[in-house]
Amino acid sequence: MPEITNPQYAAVVQPVGSSPPNPNCPICGQLALTLNQEGYIEGSPCSHLVFIYIGEIGGFEYISDDFQESLTALAIEENKEKYSQGIESVDFKSILEEAGYRNELLALEINYEAKTLGDRFQERSIFAYDYSKLAAES
């Protein structure tokens, strides 16, 4: 069997009417998002979390320092030919490969139906976790 070297990427679709996604870290079990004192959702990063991308807001709720450096190096917003629609429409699997992530990274893309003022539309959220952090913890 050939060795898997690319980041691992799983995409699922939640049933219509489900709450927006909030997965637990597959490594330590910590929830990715929490409600702050004002009732707003915010990232609740554990040491394994690389980023949280929330389609409803069109951007990142949380970015680790390592991933921020990778995004800066790729110059997504400045490189309009390659990333013509900005970060909200890029293929995250390709971005993770270009950023140098290997098979220690697991990205979970969760597609779901969202509603605003009676309108329904499809959204996606992506939660990425770095399994290489396990070696550093041992």
How many domains are contained in the chain? 1
Nearest to 67 by CA among 52, 87, 50: 50
Full-model pTM: 0.81
What is the domain extent for residue 108?
A: 8-119
| Whole-angstrom distance, CA of residue 116 vs CA of residue 105 | 33
- Residue 14 domain flag: yes
Model confidence pLDDT, tens digit, residues 47-85? 999 999 888 777 888 999 998 888 788 776 566 555 555
- Residue 70 domain flag: yes
Across the chain, where does the E strand assignment appear? 8-13, 33-35, 41-43, 49-54, 59-63, 105-116, 119-130
